[in-house]
Amino acid sequence: MPFLSSLLALLLILVPGHRAQAHEVPATVVVRTFVKPEGARVRLLVRVPLESMRDVSFPTRGAGFLDVARAAPTLRDAAQLWIADGVRLRVGDRALGAPQVVAVRAALPTDRAFDAYDSALRAVQASPLPASTDIPVGQVMLDVLLDVPTNGVIVGDDADLVLTPTWAHLGVRTTTVVTLLLRSGAERVITFDGDPGDVRLDPRWWHAAWRFMLTGMVHMFSGIDHLLFVLCLVLPIRTMRPLIGVITAFTIAHSITLVASALGFAPTALWFPPLVEVLIAASIVYLALENIVGARVPHRWMIAFAFGLVHGFGFSTALRDQLQFAGSHLLASLAAFNVGVELAQLAVLAVAVPVLRWVFARAVPERMGVIIVSAFITHEAWHWLLERAATLRTYRFMPPVLDALFLADVLRGAMGVLIVTGVAWGMSGVMRRLSGARAASRAVTGVLLCVAAASFAPRTSTAQSPKSTTQGVYTLAQAAKGKNVFNGACLGCHTTATHMGPAFELKWFGRPLWELYGYLSNLMPKSAPGTLTEDEYVWVTAYILKLNGMPAGKVELNAEPAWLKAVRIDPVPSNAPEHAPSLVEDRWEVRRFRLVPQL
């Protein structure tokens, strides 16, 4: 008998049961959160998949269905353990109280209550699901209402509210969507993955500047290609004045394209970021080879300026997902990011230049040392160039349509070239004094700038457009369908925050609707671009217009290129009346872009 008992215990240990599946970590978890300050308290509404709350034995019945009648105490315990204990708030440096679970409710995965704060609040406080509801535990959504006591601090619209969530352990990849609602009616949506640390929901300009300065430094230190380019630039330069000229030219050039890209003036085609990466690798190869054959130091600033325009687009990639943390301080954040890049660049030069001087003075002759270092850099950059070029070849390039829009695009591109050339022309006098370049070098400067500025593809504007998005170019039914498509296909990767408010205004106002439709159809969904149907892309376009307060009309939006090119995306007049929500509209989304200050 003891032998049989031991054998049975051994089998129970070695043979896995079905219950172990409940403890698997979900691959993707989306946490949707509303934060609403209410003076003496801050309210949080959170929705999270129940399957992400492991090590909790939820009552079940039948074939693994949640026993709704007996689940309330367990749901509350899970909400306290996995949600309330994983978030803290403070105002400035003053910590608020621990979040208290006020209400919990199991919801169906098809429930759309969390599309808006008011509907989510009503849902979580409503009666639980019917006891006869048959829904597997792995498909249940848990809605939680939390109250955060302010400990005597009055939290108003001007409060420096800081959220610190630690929900990354809910899934392998946890994406949190936070919507801050202010009593003034303004909203700010922030999306992040994992545990981001302190998130200032409405940052002051100095908080945004500090964050972006650190981001710029980290990006520069972590970008080995940018560091090697700077090293190649200064490798053959031994005197201070030409060094200042080269670094100044590179700084001004990449600042131009960095700001232009952040403001929406960079191309939006899928192939553009890979092309920038190829050009960055090519710039390193060119500089390294020039160092080997013999660099012309007086003309070095021209090359630094031309390639700096390309590197500025590369720097802008670090800002795409970060601008939402800038709040309403876009320009201050851009300037701070650039300062961070320059500080990191100067720190590298402060170490590299003395080390190179010492090595060339005591270890190897200068010329031989430059050739050896440049050869190693050429070898590495050449491999980058081949790998990135192979990636670029996987993208399809569409030839431009030779029409009035294309001619307008060419004119705007020419204006961009003239602006950049003017900046370089103004710099040439200073650079000539610093580096000793002759006046004849200005002709070479023009050629280099034309090559570098060819990477610009400015926004297209349509003069005398016969139609405008303010005249009702879509129907409410199309917007409702677009909302369903967006929530089903796009919400797992990003939210509506990147398609509304100042971000939408800076990028799309004044451009043909054809460009917005093309952008969505080529880049959405983020995980599988171009996989939706033509009708679905039309519906999503209508939904984006509705998010930005564009009025609906009786004419249906269609995908006809000529028609879309004739419609211009215009801002809604400030005195235009809001259209009232209907049965197919959601009041949370019928708001003006001017009331949504997020980026």
The pLDDT tens digits of the residues spanning 372-428 come to 888 999 999 999 999 999 988 887 777 766 767 667 667 766 766 777 777 666 666
| Residue after which a domain boundary falls, among 453, 488, 504 | 453
Q: How far apart are CA 594 and CA 549, in angstroms?
A: 9
| pLDDT value, residue 190 | 87
**288 and 432 housed in the same domain:** yes
Domain-embedded: residue 567: yes
Alpha helix positions (H), 393-465: 404-435, 441-453
Specify the residue for token string 């900046």.
423
Residue 222 has pLDDT above 50, yes or no: yes
Domain-embedded: residue 485: yes
Domain-embedded: residue 234: yes
Alpha helix positions (H), 263-365: 272-293, 300-316, 330-362
Residue 92 has pLDDT above 50, yes or no: yes
Q: In what order do the strands lie in the sheet with 199-200?
A: 94-95, 87-91, 161-165, 199-200
pLDDT category of residue 281 using cuts at 50, 70 and 90: very high
Domain-embedded: residue 2: no
The helix/strand/coil state of 430 is: helix
Strands 467-468 and 567-568: parallel
Specify the residue for token string 């090119």.
565
**440 and 483 housed in the same domain:** no
Alpha helix positions (H), 23-147: 68-78, 117-124
Q: What is the DSSP letter of 55?
A: S
Q: How far apart are CA 68 and CA 473, in angstroms?
A: 46
Residue 540 has pLDDT above 80, yes or no: yes
| pLDDT value, residue 571 | 79
Domain-embedded: residue 462: no
Q: What is the DSSP letter of 493?
A: T
For the record, the structure tokens of 150 come out as 């302010």
Q: Within 13 Å and on the Cβ side, how many CA atoms surround 217?
A: 14
| pLDDT value, residue 598 | 32
**394 and 261 housed in the same domain:** yes
**537 and 577 housed in the same domain:** yes
Bigger pLDDT: 154 or 453? 154
| pLDDT value, residue 161 | 86
Is the pTM of the predicted complex or chain greater than 0.75? no
Bigger pLDDT: 583 or 422? 422
**249 and 343 housed in the same domain:** yes
Contacts of 226 (CB under 8 A, 6+ apart): 220, 280, 311, 314, 315
Q: How far apart are CA 520 and CA 225, in angstroms?
A: 31
**325 and 422 housed in the same domain:** yes
Domain that holds residue 311: 207-453
**424 and 492 housed in the same domain:** no
Longest dimension (CA), the chain: 103
Specify the residue for token string 């989510």.
120
Q: How many CB atoms lie within 10 A of CB 470?
A: 17
Structural domains in the chain (count) = 3
* First-last CA distance in the chain: 71
How high does pLDDT run on average in the chain?
Answer: 78
Q: How far apart are CA 84 and CA 177, in angstroms?
A: 16
Pick the range with the lowest mean pLDDT from 10-14, 210-214, 219-223, 408-412: 10-14
pLDDT category of residue 321 using cuts at 50, 70 and 90: confident
Q: Within 13 Å and on the Cβ side, how many CA atoms surround 263?
A: 14
**429 and 316 housed in the same domain:** yes
Domain-embedded: residue 76: yes
| Residue after which a domain boundary falls, among 156, 180, 202 | 202
Bigger pLDDT: 434 or 242? 242
Domain-embedded: residue 346: yes
Residue 491 has pLDDT above 50, yes or no: yes
**409 and 505 housed in the same domain:** no
| Residue after which a domain boundary falls, among 178, 202, 226 | 202
Size of the chain in residues: 599
| pLDDT value, residue 111 | 87
Residue 502 has pLDDT above 70, yes or no: no
**159 and 278 housed in the same domain:** no
**83 and 55 housed in the same domain:** yes
Bigger pLDDT: 222 or 270? 222
Of the chain, the percentage scoring pLDDT greater than 90 comes to: 16
Domain-embedded: residue 99: yes
pLDDT mean over 136-154: 88
**115 and 74 housed in the same domain:** yes
| In contact, 201 and 190? CB cutoff 8 Å | yes
